[in-house]
Amino acid sequence: MTPEEISKQLRKPEGENGLYIAESMNKLSSKLIRLNYKEISKMPGDNILEIGFGSGFFMKELFEMGNERVIGLDYSETMLDEARKINNEFIQKGRMELYHGPAHQMPFEDNSIDKVVTINTIYFWDEPEIILREIKRVLKCEGHIAIGIRNEETVKHLEFTRHNFEFYSTSKVEKLLLENGFEIVSSKTIQDNEYDANCIIGKARMD
Ligand SMILES: C[S@@+](CC[C@H](N)C(=O)[O-])C[C@H]1O[C@@H](n2cnc3c(N)ncnc32)[C@H](O)[C@@H]1O
């Protein structure tokens, strides 16, 4: 795959190449995903929504971390099919629901979600303000969001980031949250081989 194709597949994995990319993401992102899952799971509430779950390989760990109900949303049909296969046991038990759709228009009621987690997705959002407004709509009053990113500094040498990819730093995510109805609860960074893994937690402001 060319760097441009890799970026396109990371944005929205589709078909055989999409499945291949999803498997690579699972290998490369486990530490970043688990950091964000762990931090958001400390926040109060029973249900959690993951936006952009990829193959959903790690989602079952959210139950082990104390969440009662797991909801997922992704606009890639390839990822939805894969995540449904991987998590079939929990879907059958009625503990997990996976939906197809875009983050800027989610099929959820106002004030219905306790926590949102989204990892390695914000770089691909053309209008993050609109998505954050939508997240705030579905979050309960004082609900929490965890945004997982790699900092610009550690990924800017990767060729695919030159194609339709918006760089972020923890301070840029914090600013975006503050400007879009959230307060900052915490920012955590850990080392992940040659990368960094970041988790920024925001809380929906009552305004
Ligand atoms: C780079 S992958 C990250 C997957 C996983 N979170 C990880 O860190 O390994 C981005 C995922 O988010 C989904 N996605 C990106 N933007 C989205 C949007 N605006 N609405 C819904 N899903 C989105 C893609 O389809 C893909 O499954």
Report how far residue 53's alpha carbon sits from residue 64's, in angstroms, rounded to the nearest whole number: 17
Cα 166 to ligand 1 centroid, rounded to whole Å: 14
Query: pLDDT band for position 193 (50/70/90)?
Result: confident
Cα 102 to ligand 1 centroid, rounded to whole Å: 10
Is the pLDDT at 65 greater than 80? The verdict is yes
Rounded mean pLDDT, 55-74: 98
Residue 79: the pLDDT is 98
Report how far residue 55's alpha carbon sits from residue 67's, in angstroms, rounded to the nearest whole number: 19
Rounded mean pLDDT, 60-68: 98
Relative to the CA of 118, which ligand 1 atom is closest?
6
Residue 207: the pLDDT is 74
* Residue 56 Cβ < 6 Å to ligand 1: no
Percentage of residues in the chain having pLDDT higher than 90 = 98
* Residue 10 Cβ < 6 Å to ligand 1: yes
Cα 153 to ligand 1 centroid, rounded to whole Å: 21
Tens of pLDDT, residues 129-168? 999 999 999 999 999 999 999 999 999 999 999 999 999 9
Cα-Cα end-to-end distance for the chain: 46
Relative to the CA of 53, which ligand 1 atom is closest?
6
Relative to the CA of 26, which ligand 1 atom is closest?
9
Residue 206: the pLDDT is 83
* Residue 76 Cβ < 6 Å to ligand 1: yes
pTM, full prediction: 0.97
Mean pLDDT of the chain: 97
Query: pLDDT band for position 28 (50/70/90)?
Result: very high
Tens of pLDDT, residues 109-129? 999 999 999 999 999 999 999
Q: Whose CA is nearest to atom 14 of ligand 1?
A: 52
Query: pLDDT band for position 33 (50/70/90)?
Result: very high
Report how far residue 26's alpha carbon sits from residue 96's, in angstroms, rounded to the nearest whole number: 20
* Residue 13 Cβ < 6 Å to ligand 1: yes
Helix, strand, coil abundance in the chain, percent, nearest 5: 40, 25, 30
CATH class of 3-204: alpha beta
**Helices 15-41, 3-11: inter-axial angle, 10-degree rounding:** 50
Residue 100: the pLDDT is 98
* Residue 102 Cβ < 6 Å to ligand 1: yes
C-alpha distances in angstroms, 28 versus 21, 32, 50, 150, 196? 10, 9, 18, 11, 12
